[in-house]
C-alpha cells in the first residue's frame, strides 16, 4: 500500500545555486507540509524596527521549471508571536528569475524584532501556474452574484 505522500504529491525538480556560505537549503518540516522553510543568509543580526521593512537575503538563486512559480509566504509563528510578516504576500518568484532570492519582512509588532543568522523567516511553496489567453467579448455570462464585490457576498 502506498503512503499518502506518494499518492498525492509529485516531486518538482528545482535548481539550487548557493551564492553565500550562509545559505541553507530550503526544507519541509513535515511529510505533508506545503511550504519549505526559508532561512536568513546573514552573518550578523538584522534589527527591524516597528513599522520598518527589511530585505533579508537567502544566499541562493533558483531555477524553477516552466509552468511553476515560487510563492514566498509568511511563517505563522513570526506573524502571530511578533507581528512580523511578508508585506507582498505571497511574493512571486517567476520561472525565469535567476537572481538571489530575498525576503521582504515588515515588522507590524509592538517592538523591534531581531532576525538572527540562519533564522527561519518565511516559507516557499512551489505551485503550478496557468497561462491566460484572453477572449474579448461584448457580454459575460450571468451569475447570481453579478457585479457585486467587496463584501457583497457577506450580506
Residue 145 lies in a domain: no
Residue 70 lies in a domain: yes
Q: What is the pLDDT of residues 39-68, one digit of tens each?
A: 999 999 999 999 999 999 999 999 999 999
Residue 32 lies in a domain: yes
Confidence of residue 9 (pLDDT cuts 50, 70, 90): low
Q: What is the pLDDT of residues 86-110, one digit of tens each?
A: 999 999 999 999 999 999 999 999 9
Q: How far is CA 29 from CA 25, 36, 69, 98, 116, in A?
A: 12, 7, 20, 25, 19
Could you list the residue range(s) of the whole structural domain that residue 63 is in?
A: 16-131
Q: Domain total for the chain?
A: 1
Residue 57 lies in a domain: yes
CATH number where 96 lies: 2.70.40.10
pTM of the complete model: 0.86
- Residue 4 pLDDT > 60: no
Residue 62 lies in a domain: yes
Q: How would you class 152 by CB atoms within 10 Å of its CB: exposed for 0-12, middle for 13-18, buried for 19 or more?
A: exposed
Amino acid at each position: 500500500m502506498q503512503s499518502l505522500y506518494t499518492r498525492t504529491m509529485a516531486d518538482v525538480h528545482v535548481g539550487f545555486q548557493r551564492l553565500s556560505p550562509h545559505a541553507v537549503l530550503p526544507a519541509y518540516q513535515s511529510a505533508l507540509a506545503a511550504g519549505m522553510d526559508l532561512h536568513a543568509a546573514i552573518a550578523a543580526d538584522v534589527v527591524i524596527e516597528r513599522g520598518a521593512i527589511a530585505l533579508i537575503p537567502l544566499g541562493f538563486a533558483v531555477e524553477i521549471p516552466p509552468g511553476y512559480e515560487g510563492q514566498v509566504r509568511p511563517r505563522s509563528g513570526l506573524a502571530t508571536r511578533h507581528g512580523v510578516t511578508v508585506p507582498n504576500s505571497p511574493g512571486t518568484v517567476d520561472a525565469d528569475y535567476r537572481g538571489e532570492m530575498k525576503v521582504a519582512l515588515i515588522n507590524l509588532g509592538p517592538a523591534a524584532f531581531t532576525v538572527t543568522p540562519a533564522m527561519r523567516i518565511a516559507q516557499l511553496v512551489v505551485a503550478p501556474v496557468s497561462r491566460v489567453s484572453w477572449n474579448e467579448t461584448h457580454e459575460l455570462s450571468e451569475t447570481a452574484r453579478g457585479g457585486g464585490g467587496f463584501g457583497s457576498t457577506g450580506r
